[in-house]
Amino acid sequence: MAMWSVLVALLLAESASAATLALYNRCPETVWPGIQPSAGKEVLARGGMRLSPNHASSIRLPTGWSGRVWGRQGCKFDAAGRGRCATGDCGGALYCNGAGGAPPATLAEVTLASVPTAQDFYDVSLVDGYNIPIAMTPYHGKGANCVPAGCVSDLNRVCPAGLAVRDGKSVVGCRSACAAYGSPQYCCTGQFGGPQQCKPTAYSKLFKSACPKAYSYAYDDPTSILTCSAGTSYVVTFCPHHR
């Protein structure tokens, strides 16, 4: 817990004048975070990095920035930064440089306010599946709905066989039902292309039961999108409950 206390102290010091995104790896193995901006937004930290166990990195967030963060696991890169990851791979590169991660990947998403009177929107999403536990914690934020988001359960342990992604004998990821089966019912497309037509399925209910503070399918908005006042900083922690 000492590392966590130091991280928060540094975050609070840095975020006094600007919003900050801190990435903290509490997993027992190395994680390679990927960072993808939304269309037209700035690529931060070249879009990726290496985080050893119990290490953290802090990035200043431009006003109005939006994008997503995920953890890549089982990565091997050469001296030129080329290689592959068992989950979350972004085209075989250490630095994603704006590219997204291959599903399944647990996503932390944020859209920052563009003016001081507006709000940030953020969530942790399983719409692209799950690969690693993530918690997203706001700091210096205000609002009744400014609370931690996350999926801190190990969904790989309960992943249905049809959704499981394996690296050797180990389950390293759990695909969404949409990615696994591609049907409109699971993807919320075609005749199911709306919040009234696309309802939770047995698969999304499994995700929601394990991770009630995360997006479980495309129209899970009411229980999953959180808000904080402009200028809030965020800590994304990988494997938050690991000791």
Question: pLDDT (tens digit, 9 = 90+) per residue, 195-207?
Answer: 899 999 999 999 9
pLDDT tops 80 at residue 14: no
pLDDT tops 70 at residue 11: no
Q: Is residue 166 part of a domain?
A: no
Q: Is residue 206 part of a domain?
A: no
Summarised one tens digit per residue, pLDDT across range 102-161 is 999 999 999 999 999 999 999 999 999 999 999 999 998 899 899 999 999 999 999 999
Higher pLDDT, 219 or 77: 77
Summarised one tens digit per residue, pLDDT across range 48-102 is 999 999 999 999 999 999 999 999 999 999 999 999 999 999 999 999 999 999 9
Higher pLDDT, 4 or 71: 71
Q: What is the mean pLDDT of residues 237-243?
A: 85
pLDDT given for residue 47 in this prediction: 97
pLDDT tops 70 at residue 43: yes
Q: Is residue 195 part of a domain?
A: no
Show the tokens assigned to 41. 């937004």
pLDDT tops 50 at residue 170: yes
Q: Is residue 110 part of a domain?
A: yes
Nearest Cα to 160, choosing from 205, 95, 196? 205
162 contact partners, CB below 8 Å, separation of at least 6: 180, 181
Higher pLDDT, 138 or 18: 138
Angstrom distance (rounded) from CA 49 to CA 175 = 24
Q: Is residue 222 part of a domain?
A: yes
Output the domain CATH number for residue 29.
2.60.110.10
Domain membership of residue 219 as a residue range: 2-154+214-238
Q: What pTM, to 2 d.p., does this model score?
A: 0.92
Q: What is the mean pLDDT of residues 166-180?
A: 93
pLDDT tops 50 at residue 210: yes
Grade residue 44 by pLDDT with cuts at 50, 70 and 90: very high
pLDDT given for residue 9 in this prediction: 59
Q: Is residue 14 part of a domain?
A: yes
Q: Is residue 128 part of a domain?
A: yes
User: Angle at Cα 149 formed by Cα 148 and Cα 154, nearest 5°?
Assistant: 120
Number of domains in the chain: 1
Grade residue 1 by pLDDT with cuts at 50, 70 and 90: very low
pLDDT given for residue 206 in this prediction: 94
pLDDT tops 60 at residue 6: no
Q: Is residue 147 part of a domain?
A: yes
pLDDT given for residue 222 in this prediction: 73
pLDDT given for residue 220 in this prediction: 84
pLDDT given for residue 218 in this prediction: 87
pLDDT tops 90 at residue 10: no
Residue 150 φ/ψ region, left for φ over 0, alpha for ψ in the -120 to 50 degree band, beta for the rest? left
